[in-house]
Amino acid sequence: MQYLEIRGGKKLSGSVTISGAKNAALPVIAATILSDKPVTLTNLPDVVDIRTLLTLLTMLGGTVEHKGSVAHIDNSSINSHKAVYEIVSQMRASILVLGPLLTRFGECEVSLPGGCAIGQRPIDLHLKALEAMGAEIAIESGYVHAKAPNGLHGAKIIFDKITVGGTENIVMAAAMAKGTTTIINAAKEPEIVQLCEMIADAGVSIKGIGTNELVIEGTDGIPLQFKNVEIIPDRIEAGTYLCAGAITQSEIRLEKVKAEHIRASIDKLESMGFSFDISGDTITIHPAEHIKPVSLITIEYPGFPTDMQAQFMAVAALAEGESLIEERLFENRFMHVSELNRLGADIWLKGSTAAVKGVGTLHGADVMATDLRASSALVLAGLVAEGTTKVRRIYHLDRGYDNLEGKLTALGADIIRKKDTK
Ligand code: UD1
């Protein structure tokens, strides 16, 4: 099993280029199912989740040529409508093929994704919305069997809760449905804006892009013809590197980043004493005189992202004072707390809030990654912990961070990927 070995205490310097956003690329790849013509995607991050979804397309019968950050996809030859457990269980976001398969082919089977370390993560809202659009849905033997023999029809969907994946699935389903779909309480993350723009560029009318209310005029079964899509920069990767600069008290520059997408993280780091220069698509973070404690609540975009909660907790562990971090989106997204405490942090959990008492120093130890973003928090802590930190189960990290150790090494960190011989 591979692990990362980090010798803490090195200052970072220089610049790092931010990769394309995994969470934008996944729905964009799923949306290619809406087309029977070739489409080229660029600026894809080199991460396992992207390869997994591209593999799913080939298992459905699509043709994929994938090299580096570019994929040429031709879904004219799709001849299977089944997303099997072996793939969906590796990556929950495979559920994103449900909407496009159903709306284009009138039927599909998609394995239920099941829960995961950070919470139950049901898909009830996706299914309820598809039913409102005319889908007949049955759950049998762990699979969602969905049918719409006469195609889906437009509907007024009011999401009980803001859901990123649910909004994406329904936007894709609506694009080829008959008539108008209105999504109220839609998610408005930048990744959803990219998906909507891709579909709108293919000639589908979508009103309200970037707002909580989307109105989509479907093509009534006519497949779309996409223009090439360049994936937007990864705001969570960018936020993670800002935290790397912050926790090591280093000046580093991020390139190819959209500052407006990470405003919430920048604001919180400013409140902790860090300062920034933002110019075009670059952001430079400057060290703080003293790291001040922070108070934050995770919430939907443009609020503070749950995907940055763990990384901020690592920085808060070294603040001068007590920080309060409340997780509102996922019921169990605190698995990193006990691991950060193994490194010498002083964090107490009460319900969905973590009280983080800043300590002067962290100490290297063996720690275990539990989910994607928790892993990066442990790496961040390892960058400053005295001695050696070994972060295990880094397959979580490989799902979503493009060459993390390579990029950190280039910034001056002492971090190596190793393999247990056992
Ligand atoms: C996406 C992101 C993930 C991020 C999350 C919240 C991708 C691939 N993943 O996940 O990184 O942490 O948004 O910003 O883009 N819910 C239901 N029923 C549903 C759907 C969701 O109860 O049918 C709940 C979830 O359990 C959670 C909340 O709604 O508590 C938000 O989940 P959602 O926005 O759907 O997250 P994902 O799309 O899975």
**163 CA distance to ligand 1 centroid (A)?**
5
Cβ–ligand 1 contact at 165 (below 6 Å): yes
Model confidence band, residue 33 (pLDDT cutoffs 50, 70, 90)? very high
Q: Are 18 and 256 in contact (CB under 8 A)?
A: yes
pLDDT at position 113, please? 84
Cβ–ligand 1 contact at 393 (below 6 Å): no
Contacts of 189 by beta carbon, 8 Å cutoff, 6+ apart: 23, 164, 300, 301
> Is it the case that residue 60 has pLDDT exceeding 60?
yes
Cβ–ligand 1 contact at 307 (below 6 Å): yes
What average pLDDT does the structure give for the chain? Answer: 96
pLDDT in tens, 253-299: 999 999 999 999 999 999 999 999 999 999 999 999 999 999 999 99
Taking the CA of residue 187 as reference, the ligand 1 atom at the shortest distance is 34
pLDDT at position 138, please? 95
Cα gap 336→346, rounded to integer Å:
12
Q: What is the mean pLDDT of residues 104-125?
A: 85
User: Could you tell me which of 136, 126, 184 has the C-alpha nearest to residue 157?
Assistant: 184
Taking the CA of residue 124 as reference, the ligand 1 atom at the shortest distance is 23
pLDDT in tens, 330-355: 888 899 999 999 999 999 999 999 99
Cα gap 182→151, rounded to integer Å:
17
Task: Report in angstroms the alpha-carbon separations of 406 from 93, 226, 394, 409.
Answer: 26, 34, 14, 5
**15 CA distance to ligand 1 centroid (A)?**
32
> Is it the case that residue 25 has pLDDT exceeding 60?
yes
Taking the CA of residue 127 as reference, the ligand 1 atom at the shortest distance is 23
Q: Residue 343's Cα: distance from chain center in Å? A: 26
Cα gap 69→321, rounded to integer Å:
42
- What three-state secondary structure class fits 234? coil
Model confidence band, residue 114 (pLDDT cutoffs 50, 70, 90)? low
pLDDT in tens, 80-103: 999 999 999 888 899 999 999 999
Cβ–ligand 1 contact at 417 (below 6 Å): no
User: Could you tell me which of 234, 328, 341, 245 has the C-alpha nearest to residue 287?
Assistant: 245
Model confidence band, residue 116 (pLDDT cutoffs 50, 70, 90)? low
**22 CA distance to ligand 1 centroid (A)?**
15
Cα gap 325→318, rounded to integer Å:
14
Residue 243 annotated to the active site: no
Residue whose CA is at the smallest distance from ligand 1 atom 31: 163
pLDDT in tens, 206-253: 999 999 999 999 999 999 999 999 999 999 999 999 999 999 999 999
Helix (H) or strand (E) holding 337: helix 336-342
- For residue 242, count other CB atoms closer than 10 A to its CB: 27
Cβ–ligand 1 contact at 30 (below 6 Å): no
Residue whose CA is at the smallest distance from ligand 1 atom 13: 164
pLDDT at position 420, please? 84
Which of the pair, 10 or 91, is modelled with greater confidence? 10
**121 CA distance to ligand 1 centroid (A)?**
7
pLDDT at position 204, please? 98
pLDDT at position 120, please? 73
Tell me what percent of the residues of the chain surpass a pLDDT of 70: 98
Contacts of 393 by beta carbon, 8 Å cutoff, 6+ apart: 1, 3, 368, 369, 370, 375
- Regarding pTM above 0.85, the answer is yes
**248 CA distance to ligand 1 centroid (A)?**
31
Taking the CA of residue 165 as reference, the ligand 1 atom at the shortest distance is 38
Cα gap 140→346, rounded to integer Å:
46
Cβ–ligand 1 contact at 115 (below 6 Å): no
Side-chain-side CA neighbours of 165 within 13 Å: the count stands at 17
Cβ–ligand 1 contact at 310 (below 6 Å): no
Cα gap 390→407, rounded to integer Å:
18
Cβ–ligand 1 contact at 418 (below 6 Å): no
Residue whose CA is at the smallest distance from ligand 1 atom 17: 122
Alpha-helical segments (H) within 151-262: 164-175, 190-201, 235-247
- What three-state secondary structure class fits 27? helix
- What three-state secondary structure class fits 371? coil
> Is it the case that residue 115 has pLDDT exceeding 80?
no
Which of the pair, 42 or 369, is modelled with greater confidence? 42
Cβ–ligand 1 contact at 126 (below 6 Å): yes
Q: Which of 61-75, 321-335, 392-406 has the largest mean confidence?
A: 61-75
Which stretch of 10-14, 353-357, 366-370, 404-408 has the lowest confidence by average pLDDT?
A: 366-370
pLDDT at position 121, please? 80
Taking the CA of residue 121 as reference, the ligand 1 atom at the shortest distance is 26
Which of the pair, 1 or 42, is modelled with greater confidence? 42
3-state DSSP helix/strand/coil percent for the chain, to nearest 5?
35, 30, 35
